[in-house]
Amino acid sequence: MKGSCKNDRLRGMDFKKHNEEVARLWKAYGDRKPYRVPIILGLNSRYFFKNKDANPQGLDFQEYMEDPDVMIGTLLRFARWSKFNVLQDQELGLPDKWYVSVDFQNFYDAAWLGCPVVYMKGEVPDTRPVFQDCPEKVMENGYPDPFGGLMQKVQEYYEHFKACAEMETFLDRPIEVSPPWCALGYDGPMTAACSLFSPSFVCTAMAAEPERLQTLLGFINEAIIRRMKAWRDRLGVQYPVDGWGCADDSVALISLKMYREHILPHHRKLYDTFATLKERSIHLCGDASRHFPVLRDELHIASFDTGFPIDFGKIRRELGPDIRINGGPHVEFLRTATPEQVYEGTREILQSGVLEGGLFVLREGNNLAPGTPLENTEAMYRAGRDFGVLNEPKGN
């Protein structure tokens, strides 16, 4: 089969049949008439780097980040490997077109605001909280240039990717370069503040120096909003839009009272800038479920992408049947359990009551960990098909 290799796990699969079913499945879900739970996996490049089958050369993140040719070539190889090896309700097999985007992981906010990037052997790159001794130094030069610092490198890589896509194909298929999410996206004001100043400073300042912290959070939020708007304007990306969402994983560290007082106003400004009121979403790792009702009521969030640990039956009861929920077995369980344990754990989630209303997407909670056996993700997929059936699709 064109594009496949003899060692591909899904070699011999009827991709055409699979992809037609997936298209019907997602259309039904989008129309709020789901007949089965969609099943997906969050596949970050970190998963592929530590997979010897996907990365036989043993490439590391520093090589990947410091050469745009290495980055785009690696992204394409990882995309091919995924489409012929990872079973999920996404298009599989050789696609009509390959999509790539500049990938600077989750350090982009802090790095653009002045933190140094650190490459740790065998790990995802991160930043050092260089402003923890004097947080106000982040503001001393005013708002950063939206296209300066790390974003200048993002722009250079983006232009290089586009030039490559104009001249080359991959496995005889065209390449399309998506706008760089690391310029247009945002991991959230509290998460950015924790990266810049350290979590201990942020949490302590909430209680001891709230006005000081609000000044810092206000600066961070406004700076990143300006950057996101500038990049959208340059690239012709519309805003506000339906279905827009962001993340802020660090809110899992704080109480509901602290969230309302210190973070909610910044989230409100962010959503009011980039999102219409229709189908707003948010990604929150960790156990942030205590915040979900407030996010629904105050920010009109209609879709929650969850981490772990999560009581799915409880959040369905609290949020009601009309809210979209994404989630599933937590990533360490998926990495270390047996396929039989994964199948059973997935069954328990699907029978928890979370399927009421049908607006549930089964996925790992959250972002597939390096070293996770594909036997385990396939066990989750089987359980999803066995216990996630809602109604039979008409005409099938």
Q: What is the pLDDT of residues 35-71, one digit of tens each?
A: 999 999 999 999 999 999 999 999 999 999 999 999 9
Q: Which sign, positive or negative, has the C-alpha torsion 248, 250, 253, 258?
A: negative
- pLDDT band for position 3 (cuts 50, 70, 90): confident
Residue of higher predicted confidence among 326 and 2: 326
Q: Are 39 and 395 in contact (CB under 8 A)?
A: no
How high is the pLDDT of residue 396? 46
- 282 within domain boundaries: no
Domain CATH for 210: 3.20.20.210
How high is the pLDDT of residue 4? 74
- pLDDT band for position 122 (cuts 50, 70, 90): confident
- Per-residue pLDDT of 167-181, as tens digits, reads 999 999 999 999 999
- Per-residue pLDDT of 126-142, as tens digits, reads 999 999 999 999 999 99
- 59 within domain boundaries: yes
- 76 within domain boundaries: yes
**How many CA atoms within 13 Å lie on the side-chain side of 112?**
32
- 252 within domain boundaries: no
Question: At CA 100, angle to CA 380 and CA 222, rounded to 5?
Answer: 95
Give the pLDDT mean for 177-197: 97
| 3-state class (DSSP) for residue 305 | strand
* Nearest alpha-carbon partner for 72 in 206, 1, 152, 170: 170
Please state, in angstroms and rounded to a whole number, the distance separating the CA atoms of residues 253 and 246: 17
How high is the pLDDT of residue 302? 98
- Per-residue pLDDT of 322-356, as tens digits, reads 999 999 999 999 999 999 999 999 999 999 999 99
Domain that holds residue 192: 51-85+94-237
* Nearest alpha-carbon partner for 127 in 115, 144, 112: 115
Strand 126-127 versus strand 117-118 pairing type: antiparallel
Residues 6+ apart with CB under 8 A from 382: 343
| 3-state class (DSSP) for residue 47 | helix
* Nearest alpha-carbon partner for 179 in 145, 151, 220: 151
How high is the pLDDT of residue 54? 95
- 129 within domain boundaries: yes
Mean pLDDT taken over the chain: 96
- Per-residue pLDDT of 87-99, as tens digits, reads 999 999 999 999 9
* Nearest alpha-carbon partner for 186 in 153, 140, 148, 232: 232
- pLDDT band for position 1 (cuts 50, 70, 90): low
Residue 392: pLDDT above 70?
no
How high is the pLDDT of residue 5? 84
- 370 within domain boundaries: no
Residue 357: pLDDT above 90?
yes
Residue 244: pLDDT above 50?
yes
Residue 12 has phi, psi (to 5 degrees) of 95, -5
- 391 within domain boundaries: no
Burial class for 172, CB neighbours closer than 10 Å (0-12, 13-18, 19+): exposed
Q: Which amino acid is at 183?
A: A
- 23 within domain boundaries: no
Structure tokens at 144: 């950063």
Q: Are 96 and 155 in contact (CB under 8 A)?
A: no
- pLDDT band for position 393 (cuts 50, 70, 90): low
* Nearest alpha-carbon partner for 292 in 273, 314, 271, 272: 314
Residue of higher predicted confidence among 5 and 114: 114
Please state, in angstroms and rounded to a whole number, the distance separating the CA atoms of residues 80 and 335: 22
Ordered DSSP codes for 326-384: EE-SBHHHHHHS-HHHHHHHHHHHHTTTTTTTS-EEE--BSSPPTT--HHHHHHHHHHH
Please state, in angstroms and rounded to a whole number, the distance separating the CA atoms of residues 358 and 363: 15
Number of domains present in the structure of the chain = 1
